[in-house]
Amino acid sequence: METLLPACSASSPASASAAPPGMSSSSPASPAPADAAGGEKPTAAPYGSWRSPITADVVSGADKRLGGIALAGDGRLLWIEGRPEEKGRMVIVKEGDKPVDVIPQEFAARTLVQEYGGGAFAVQDNTVVFSNYKDQRLYKQPTEIGSLPVPLTPDYGAPDVSYAGGVFDPHFSRYVTLMEDRRTSNLNPATTIACINISGGDIHEPKVLVSGNDFYASPRIDQNKKRMAWIEWGHPNMPWDKSELWVGYFSESGELTKRICVAGGNPMLVESLAEPKWSPKGELFFITDRESGFWNIYKWVEHSNEVVPAYTLDAEFTRPLWLFGNSSYAFLGKSNHIILTYRQLGRSYLGVLDCDSGSVSLLDTPFSDLSNVVAGNDYFYIEGASASVPMSIAKVTLDKNKTKSISFSIVWSSSPDVVQYRPFFSTPEFIEFPTSSPGQMAYAYFYPPLNPMFQGLPDEKPPLLVKTHGGPTAETREILDLSVQYWTSRGWAFLDVNYGGSTGYGREYRERLLGKWGIVDVDDCCSCARFLVESGSVDEQRLCITGRSAGGYTTLASLAFRDTFKAGASLYGIGDFSLMRADSQKYDSHYIDNLVGDERAYYERSPINFVNKFTCPVILFQGLDDKVVPPNQARKIYQALKERGLPVALVEYEGEQHGFRKAENIKFTLEQQMVFFARLVGKFEVADDITPIKIENFD
């Protein structure tokens, strides 16, 4: 189960063309005192008690999210941004001398397809089509200021039909999109590829083009010929396990007639397909992890129905398909050049692929983490961040040979005021550490405590907070996250672990978790914490752990089945696999089977069944509208720990789903975690004025 991630992160700007970072299992550097502002000597104070200007208000206000980017016909960028101050509303914004909102205040561009959403809008020329959050209908609107949206799809009386990942079809004046119909069943909705006529002002019933499989993604239409590519897969696979790439040909009436399976149909070759795109010349490119186990770029040779590599490297050129709308590469105008991004050993790289020569020219940017990209003729827009630059969108212009960048400018920042806090930023160290399996290594980012006004006491080591990322098929990245700096600037060490099963390191690393969720992830988090203890970097008696969604499960499992940590915080985490399976929505209803195994494993790895093994305090946070991990999970854990006599607290939020979007709830969650850990294991007083909630069996 993927979770919403904060949109800020960073370290000192570095060239994206630098060599991959060297890795070492040597001891992380101990935190060194920094000079206070004005050259004053830092004050010695207990770790965890330091005052910091990076308050919970600053963190919650900076937590703007990106929901996708696209180019309008005039070459200007459109993007979706999530605003915590507007209760998480997702707004389509257009680039200009001053960015302007495209959709009116009463609309929000967000889809609920597969619960996780993504791909909520598309643009052609100066027309945008988007999914409206409240009613889940598709709307069409000009991008000019003052225009009003008009509905394209019917009102079914409830938001039970959702759309995502759509594109304009230039051949038949229609919009082709994924459609999820929950009118008959919420747990097993029908998923199809459908089209909606957009030529007039009338509302039209969607017409199904492709159906029969469990899931579809990325319908993409060739601008030159009447044909469409798409990805599909079926239970029990997730898209990163095994999927297929298809091409279908349209008849003169717009029906799909002839269909060809381009890749994924060979039972002897297991592969995961992603991001099909037609080049300006009508060639089909896509990403697959066939043969090497790394997601690389390939091309389809139509006349022989062959698949050939466009560029191969032991690196990941895409991300797991939790959200629709991934765009890891793009064609530069009508040239034979592709702007691409990839991940290798914990870092992102940016380059231009010359499809004629097969060579890649790496580009320098201040970003060390990159995600979506869209391109014009000699320029492109890229989402990126670093350890000292928050999540941003940059415009990059290339030279005439398309091998070097000649200009770089930030057009959007998730936190434009963040620069004032730069002296308080802890720069992460990328570490490789030994796992419990002999000869096997895993990866993490270690953030030492840092505050220019304070230093730790000479006889003290800092407390450590370990974060377990969601997914679990996902990756934590080296980006400026103010919710991390909130801890480090107060004197905490922070550890962000990419345990076995994480993405970004190839299929073999990703599949370490198959059948072993609750074992490999837990072992790796505990091993990395012990590694830091043994290196003398942190205090063994003040090890805490936190996680969201699937990371919340790893947190609870670490507390139930290991004795490494002294307290934990679970944010909408899974406590009972059997309950989770019974309540799972369609997309990940078989996901847990692949990661856990049989009924016995379901029971033995569910923390709720072993509350007698919990020995330390736990705080739980839960959204009451969460359909991915329903509230009964947190309530069941809370009640069991309360009856066992352990210190425990539960915070529930009305109106929140799987991931907290409202600024006041983001703030409250962060502050209550801090004061909970401080009161129960910290041995310090927090500097902030925080009123703690009641802790059962403690207050």
pLDDT digits (tens, 9 = 90+) for 200-254: 878 989 999 999 999 999 999 999 999 999 999 999 999 999 999 999 999 999 9
Which domain does 395 fall in, by range? 327-416
Burial 511-545 (b: 16+ CB within 10 A, else e): bbbeebbbbbbbbbbbbbbbbbbebebbbeebbbb
pLDDT the model gives residue 661? 81
In a domain, residue 636? The reply is: yes
Same domain for 444 and 499, yes or no, is yes
Same domain for 369 and 480, yes or no, is no
In a domain, residue 200? The reply is: no
> What does the H/E/C string look like for 44-92?
ECCCCCCCCCCCHHHHHHHCCEEEEEEECCCCCEEEEEEEHHHCCEEEE
Same domain for 620 and 514, yes or no, is yes
Same domain for 504 and 562, yes or no, is yes
Asked if pLDDT for residue 87 goes beyond 70, the answer is: yes
State how far the Cα of 504 lies from the Cα of 659, in Å rounded to an integer. Answer: 23
- In DSSP notation, 595-626 reads HH-SHHHHHHT-GGGGGGG--S-EEEEEETT-
pLDDT the model gives residue 201? 77
Same domain for 628 and 549, yes or no, is yes
pLDDT the model gives residue 278? 97
Residue among 489, 482, 461, 486 nearest 419 (CA): 482
Same domain for 361 and 446, yes or no, is no
Q: Looking at residues 84-113, what average pLDDT do you find?
A: 93
> What kind and span of H or E run contains 553?
helix 550-561
Per-residue pLDDT of 196-206, as tens digits, reads 999 887 898 99
In a domain, residue 117? The reply is: no
Per-residue pLDDT of 455-482, as tens digits, reads 999 999 999 999 999 999 999 999 999 9
**Cross-strand partners of 375:** 380
In a domain, residue 167? The reply is: no
**Cross-strand partners of 342:** 349
Residue among 268, 249, 247, 271 nearest 258 (CA): 249
Same domain for 405 and 436, yes or no, is no
Same domain for 433 and 350, yes or no, is no
In a domain, residue 574? The reply is: yes
CB-CB contact of 221 with 228 (8 Å): yes
In a domain, residue 62? The reply is: no
**DSSP category for residue 24:** -
pLDDT the model gives residue 682? 87
In a domain, residue 133? The reply is: no
Same domain for 567 and 644, yes or no, is yes
Domain count, the chain: 2
pLDDT the model gives residue 22? 33
pTM of the entire predicted model = 0.90
Same domain for 383 and 497, yes or no, is no
Same domain for 366 and 483, yes or no, is no
Q: How confident is the model at residue 84 (pLDDT cuts 50, 70, 90)?
A: confident
Asked if pLDDT for residue 24 goes beyond 50, the answer is: no
CATH code of 447's domain = 3.40.50.1820
Same domain for 333 and 437, yes or no, is no
In a domain, residue 316? The reply is: no
Asked if pLDDT for residue 149 goes beyond 90, the answer is: yes
pLDDT the model gives residue 23? 36
Residue among 228, 209, 231 nearest 218 (CA): 231
- Diameter of the chain by CA atoms? 79
